[in-house]
Amino acid sequence: MERPNIPIPHEPSSPYPIYDQSSIILGYGRGAGELGIPTANIPIKSEISHLPTGIYLGYAKLSPIPGEPASTKSRATKYGHREDITFNHGNKLRAEDLEILPVVMSLGWNPFFHNEEKAAEIHIIHKFKDTFYGAEVKFVILGFIRPELDYVSKEALIKDINKDIEIAKGVLATEPYAKFKKELEDFVPYDPTLAQSDDNQCLIPQNQTTSDVCQYIREQCNVSYFKWSEFYYCSSTKYPSWLLLSILSLLILLALTLILISLSILVSNYLFRNLNEFTFTLGLNNQILSFILVPLTNSFPDLINYYVALQSGSSDLVIGQLVGSILIMFTIIIGLISIFSRQFKVEQPNLLTIDLIWVLLVLGSFSIILSDGQITLVESIVMVTIYVVYIIFLTLFDKEKLQDFDEELIIHHQNHEHVLEQPYNIEDAMSILTTEDRPLITRSKSHTSSTNSMRLKTPTPPNSRRSSPLRHVISASVEDEESQLVPTEQDYLTVDYSCRRERSAEDSVTSQTSKHFSITNIFEFIFNSIDFVLLFIIPIHHCCDEEDVWHIKSHLIHTSYFKYWYMIQVPLLLNWEFFQIDLAYVIPGILFIEIPLVILCLKYVNETVRSIVVTSIGIGISLLTVTYCSIFILELLKNLGLIWKISDYLLGLLVFSISNSINDLITNLTLATRINPILGINSCLGTPLLIILLGIGINGIYVVTKTKQSITFTLSHNAIISTVWF
């Protein structure tokens, strides 16, 4: 077979670098004995098992194993016959043998020798005095030289191996590759007990036909995980590939968008509401809700998405999505706000300047962190610390001005006025768009303030990623007769969120007259459908009837029989996730033990205990649901990347960021055009603070602490160019 001429990039690109560590094991003994090119066999572990067969280049470092005997004999087949092999565990290696050295690795079946097992062999480009069976070797794979070939003679094989060695020496001598010697020195392998599964990794061999790729996916990849890719490559012979590619890509993008919108509704209507009920029942200070719980719930989908991706080793995907989202936020969304809002006056320019300074500080710091291609534990701690400092700054610096552009939500909870800021999602934006003609709100111009600002009660961060729901409102009182002559303005900033309020006849008439067909009605129907489905998954203690445009949600919550659904559904869900007990035992246990026990307890526990139990379960189920949605998002993205054959970074930059920004685009643009442009801009400015400082900072601390190594990503040209746009 003719040797293909495959160009090697001038610097490593995804999926490289790939790090691994293992012990030198017994091989066939052909390298030194028959070919004159000694090789060291290593076990094929998860880090390299998904790679296509062929020849690779990189670096390796040998290490002796202290405490092991200097000479241990093992009987094995070598040079075609049985003999004793000495395991010295690297204890006879010299100082120069322990340096980081260039290597060529062969991964495959060695068709010339007709191997029956797949093998991984590394040839360290160095002259050794002795063998080193049993020694530890850590190595990094930086590139692909060529696929595995068959040969007509041993001489042709040796000639090709020597050519591979020369190519590797030349490439590894260049600066973009040579710098990984230092990276390998600092590399600490994963703890085997913490190692992640490689089920979400699948690298298609280069220069393969569609049928070959189909066979490779079925044999080398997790077909259940890459079912979309398997369907595409294994069906493209029946359909035009471009048509199938377009259809599958569209379906995946629609699924991504729907899941991300569902997460926004879930966080706002279920996770936050249960958190609010829980903190209120426990009597926690409202400052905790405003400064901690609200920002965390606002960014919670991103936190979980980043956690799932980083845990699976897809750091390039996270960095790409983060950079893409910020670029979209600062270009498209703010640009559209400026276009559709036309002329508007910034009433507090100093406040906006302060926000912008914080954003520039965070973006500058993050660019420096990304510059070395890794995120360390110290850098993650610094990001979280900056966010804490930012929150402290908001509580101490010029509170009166900070209050002017905040939002609040007055919730009448069991006859107590409770002030908080609630996440504002795409469902709320659609509600504003579909009810903009309803005369529900008026605002009188104040004579005491030239800024016409509403004085709010709770100092909360003005840069929350999403603001409060704005569909439940009350009319501001008219201050005097003169103010009645002034045209009223809509003010959505102060809202009355009253549970179980009866709809008035006027509201009903207004609702009927506004029921005209429009695209916003369609979207609102979709969002209400999602909300309705989530009700059957996540328990909530109280339901607000006025939010329930269909009246089905509130009717179910107030139906005494609906609680039995949760008594059955919640144990089944928890068993499926944590215990996996046979349903033959679980279902009778639920029907004859759990339900009677719960009914009995309900007779003796007060409302406070019920609230704590229900909201705790609701919070737990919400977190579990968000986690599974994030896992499915990663699966969809991985399949889309495999179908299009693009790197994780470009996948995050071009696909994940766009899908994830649809919610921000609609909500922030609605805030700006229907309420106040400065609210939309403030929300855009707050996004980087949350997704960088919390999304990367918190997950960085957890992942680095768990794996004992820094988060690494490929610092490619795409990453550098897109980061410069910061």
**Catalytic site residues?**
121
Q: How many CA atoms lie within 13 A of 536 on its CB side?
A: 5
Cβ atoms of 171 and 8 closer than 8 Å: yes
β-pair type (408-413, 494-498): parallel
473 DSSP 8-state letter: B
- Per residue, the 3-state secondary structure of 329-340, as one string, reads HHHHHHHHHHHH
Distance CA 174, CA 351 (A): 49
CB proximity list for 710: less than 8 A, separation 6 or greater: 374, 375, 376, 377, 704
Pick from 23, 64, 367, 318: nearest CA to 189: 23
484's tokens: 């009645």
Pick from 623, 541, 625: nearest CA to 278: 541
Cβ atoms of 686 and 677 closer than 8 Å: no
Distance CA 610, CA 631 (A): 32
β-pair type (136-147, 18-23): antiparallel
The DSSP code sequence of 98-161 is GS-EEEEEEEE--TTTT-SS-EEEEEESS--SS--TT-EEEEEEEEEEEE----SSHHHHHHHH
Mapping DSSP to helix (H, G, I), strand (E, B) and coil, where does residue 253 land? helix
CB proximity list for 487: less than 8 A, separation 6 or greater: none
Distance CA 593, CA 117 (A): 54
Neighbour-count burial for 261-292, b at 16+ CB within 10 Å, e otherwise: bbbbbbbbbbbbbbbbbbbbbeeeebeebbbe
Residue 534 is which amino acid?
L
96's tokens: 């120069």
Pick from 140, 14, 2, 193: nearest CA to 642: 14
Partners of 120 in beta bridges: 42, 107
N residues, the chain: 726
Neighbour-count burial for 126-143, b at 16+ CB within 10 Å, e otherwise: eebeebbbbbbbbbbbbb
Q: Show the beta-strand stretches assigned E in 11-53.
A: 18-23, 40-42
| Distance between start and end Cα atoms, the chain | 49
Q: Label residue 615 exposed, middle or buried (CB < 10 Å: 0-12, 13-18, 19+).
A: buried
Give backbone dihedrals phi and psi of 571, rounded to 5 degrees, phi first. -60, -40
β-pair type (374-375, 136-147): unpaired
Distance CA 711, CA 374 (A): 5
CB proximity list for 717: less than 8 A, separation 6 or greater: none
Distance CA 507, CA 514 (A): 11
13's tokens: 């690109």
704's tokens: 């680095």
